[in-house]
Amino acid sequence: MTDNPFANNLNVIQSRWPALATELENISAGSNSLQVSLAEGGDSTLLVNGIQLTSRHNRHQEAQQQAAHITNQAGVFLYGTALGDLQQELLTRQSLTRLNVIILNEFIFVLVLQLIDQTNWLSDPRVHLVMASEHTEIQAPFVVATAELMLASDRNRAIRERLCSELEAGNVASRLETATANLLPRLAQNRHYWKNDAQVQSLFNTLKAGQEAYVIAAGPSLEQHYGYLQQCKNKTIPPVIICVDTAVKALLAHHIMPDIVVTVDYLIKKHHLPNELLAKTCKLVYFPMTHEDILIDFPGTRYVAMNNTQMFQSIRHELSADRLYMHGSVIHPATDLAVKMGATDVVFFGADFAFSNQKTHANWEDGEIGISYQQATDWTFNVHGEKVPTLPNLTTYRIGIERYIQQHPAVTFYNTSKAGAVIAGTQDYPESRLC
């Protein structure tokens, strides 16, 4: 570590990325809440808020191991700047023509610029430096300075969330594979349902011109909108109400009858979705793994659907039901159904992807479905800029919706929840349009 390298580092950044240099210079003059100390072993590193930025034993070997996760690609995205070791390691590759270095914590980056000479990698013409907040999506192939997943600043949190979700995807796929193997007998048990029921594509393009679709999830903020939903059938063109399974009880308790119920989770039973209280006009959209408890006496018409997972590979030759978008939660096929039915305005109710008002679900006791809100392990921002508790899987579900929204620019998506997580790509639903 040298005495005062900040000026030299900043000069290089100024020459290459002047706007970023100005921002970093302002940060250096300000204050931050980082608690920093030196951690020493075979090497030395910085301990930031109790987290080591790198190994304190062999930083070079650690960088080699991290870089080995990606092959010799011409372009690589590096998320997190750490102490510069990973940048130096990647730049030794002759095949590398572009290294995109994405800053996850601007305060840590400035701190390192003040302590360590970084001019070697900053000066390399293959390097392109940018703040993570300038991006809306992660890019591949990528490698991550892993400590900064825990240390990402608030402004760069959206990219951090996507990185964590992507890194967890392998574990999720493994768990799904195990679940699929255990549930294959249920496919056979349900054959007389999915072979004879209507198929979901018969619902496509059935909405009237200008008819809105309300997609009702079970987040706590749903409780703020019962009055609106009770009156919505009085509209000149009433919306179609598409309800996820765990929100059915909440709606029925307030005399709101959904038009369509969507169920996906093979663990959902009549305790969660009380069939006997639904009208005969209510439709059920389900996947072939649905528990027979839901199917056996559903009063209305059943429509079978599939998705792109391996779970249904063995029956694709028998079942031509169309596929609905899936990214881990029932809200994804419910949203896709609304769009495929012809909605150009989709309005989310209770799509919180977070725990608000000290609850996890509307109309359910805390902990009655899944864990208690007190067991939240993460947080996200709501519309008011407040931090609200959440779980990594809820963040992954939200990211799936955000990506779906981005892929459907012809549809306007509205979010009525202000207490839950911000959903990128949605608009606030005007209260004047709420019935």
Task: Based on the fold, state whether residues 51 and 87 are members of the same structural domain.
Answer: yes
Number of domains comprising the chain: 2
Q: Could you tell me where the beta strands, DSSP code E, fall in 264-419?
A: 283-286, 302-304, 345-349, 378-381, 387-390, 412-415
Task: Based on the fold, state whether residues 233 and 146 are members of the same structural domain.
Answer: no
Q: Which residues contact 258 (CB under 8 A, 6 or more apart)?
A: 216, 241, 242, 243, 248, 251, 278, 282
Tokens 């399974």 belong to residue: 245
**Structural domain contains residue 173:** no
Q: Which residue range(s) make up the domain with 128?
A: 6-162
- pLDDT tens for 277-306 read 899 999 999 999 999 999 998 999 999 999
* Token pair belonging to 238: 């009433």
Task: Based on the fold, state whether residues 137 and 226 are members of the same structural domain.
Answer: no
* Token pair belonging to 433: 């349009």
Q: Is the peptide bond before 18 cis (omega within 30 degrees of 0)?
A: no
Task: Based on the fold, state whether residues 351 and 280 are members of the same structural domain.
Answer: yes
**Interatomic CA distance for residues 148 and 85, integer angstroms:** 14
Task: Based on the fold, state whether residues 57 and 204 are members of the same structural domain.
Answer: no
**Interatomic CA distance for residues 361 and 373, integer angstroms:** 9
Task: Based on the fold, state whether residues 205 and 306 are members of the same structural domain.
Answer: yes
**Interatomic CA distance for residues 282 and 76, integer angstroms:** 50
Is the dihedral angle over the CA atoms 178, 397, 150, 61 positive or is it negative? Answer: positive
Tokens 């911000």 belong to residue: 422
**Structural domain contains residue 177:** no
Phi, psi of 26 (to 5 degrees): -65, -35
**Interatomic CA distance for residues 244 and 324, integer angstroms:** 14
Task: Based on the fold, state whether residues 229 and 87 are members of the same structural domain.
Answer: no
Task: Based on the fold, state whether residues 296 and 233 are members of the same structural domain.
Answer: yes
**Interatomic CA distance for residues 54 and 310, integer angstroms:** 38
Task: Based on the fold, state whether residues 155 and 202 are members of the same structural domain.
Answer: no
Last residue in a domain, options 108, 127, 162: 162
Which segments of the chain have a pLDDT < 50? 1-2
Task: Based on the fold, state whether residues 379 and 344 are members of the same structural domain.
Answer: yes
Task: Based on the fold, state whether residues 138 and 214 are members of the same structural domain.
Answer: no
pLDDT of residue 184: 82
pLDDT of residue 1: 46
pLDDT of residue 314: 84
pLDDT of residue 171: 74
**Interatomic CA distance for residues 220 and 246, integer angstroms:** 12
**Structural domain contains residue 170:** no
